[in-house]
Amino acid sequence: MRSYYFDNLPGDQRLLHDSGREVTVSQLEAIGARYWRIPIDEEGRWEDKINDVAHERNYKNRDVINVTKEGLGEAYESKLKMFYEEHMHEDEEIRYILDGSGFFDLREHPTDNWIRVHLVPGDLLVVPAGIYHRFTLDEANKIQAMRLFKEEPKWTPHNRNEATDNNPYRIDYLSSLQTITVA
Would you mind telling me the total number of residues written for the chain in this entry? 183
What is the rounded average pLDDT of the residues 91-111?
97
In a domain, 47, yes or no: yes
In a domain, 181, yes or no: no
By residue range, what is the domain housing residue 90? 2-7+17-174
37: CATH: 2.60.120.10
- pLDDT tens by residue, 7-43: 999 999 999 999 999 999 999 999 999 999 999 998 9
Strand segments (E) across the chain: 2-6, 18-22, 34-37, 61-68, 87-88, 93-100, 102-107, 114-119, 123-127, 133-137, 142-149, 158-159
In a domain, 100, yes or no: yes
